[in-house]
């Protein structure tokens, strides 16, 4: 588990925290239906990028037929009290969790400047990086928490510590 989610997982522990990826069941089902290597679709590889645009279209078709399809898949059998859904990218995903879990749902947006993202190796791909799968929540303004990850490690640490304190307070109730 990498990045901010890995930090939370490490600090909270696997008995308390589960990192869930909506893209996991999407990629697994897509790989099964198209005869592809599921494990290779999970990483940031050329292999995944080859199928990314089609996989996005396929996932959109699934969501249009059943907006909660992938959300239900990732929570099946999860016993930890804290769930970090690492790749919520659409209003329908947030709506599903809010309807299913109400006040227990907290939304956290992690933002980084384009410059910071480019320094980490990100390259904009038209038709992919401007699709709903990547920016469907850009206009959602009601996040409970916004974490800025622009490269200032102390600033990031302070923000994460505030959120962790909030989580610990909720767990003690």
Determine if residue 159 is labeled as part of a ligand binding site.
yes
Transcribe 105-162 into DSSP letters: ---EEEE--HHHHHHTT----TTTTTSHHHHTTTT----SEEEE-SS-HHHHHHHHHH
Q: 3-state DSSP call for residue 47?
A: helix
Encoded tokens for 90: 């659409």
Determine if residue 150 is labeled as part of a ligand binding site.
yes
**Rounded CA Rg of the chain:** 17
Determine if residue 149 is labeled as part of a ligand binding site.
yes
Nearest to 78 by CA among 125, 139, 36, 21: 21
Nearest to 70 by CA among 52, 82, 58: 58
- Please report, in range form, the residues annotated as the binding site for substrate: 149
- Please report, in range form, the residues annotated as the binding site for ATP: 120, 150, 159
- Please report, in range form, the residues annotated as the binding site: 120, 149-150, 159
């Amino acid at each position: 588990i990498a990045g901010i989610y890995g930090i939370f997982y490490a600090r909270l522990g696997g008995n308390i925290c589960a990192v869930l990826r909506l893209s996991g069941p999407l990629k697994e089902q897509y790989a099964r239906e198209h005869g592809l290597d599921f494990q290779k679709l999970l990483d940031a590889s050329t292999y995944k990028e080859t199928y990314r645009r089609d996989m996005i279209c396929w996932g959109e078709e699934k969501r249009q037929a059943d907006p909660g399809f992938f959300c239900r898949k990732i929570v099946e059998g999860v016993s930890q009290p804290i769930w970090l859904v690492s790749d919520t990218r659409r209003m329908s995903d947030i709506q599903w969790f809010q309807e299913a879990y109400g006040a227990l749902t907290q939304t956290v947006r992690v933002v980084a400047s384009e410059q910071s993202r480019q320094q980490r190796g990100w390259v904009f791909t038209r038709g992919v990086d401007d699709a709903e799968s990547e920016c469907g929540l850009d206009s959602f303004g009601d996040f409970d928490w916004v974490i800025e990850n622009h490269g200032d490690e102390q600033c990031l640490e302070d923000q994460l510590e505030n959120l962790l304190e909030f989580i610990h307070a909720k767990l003690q109730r």
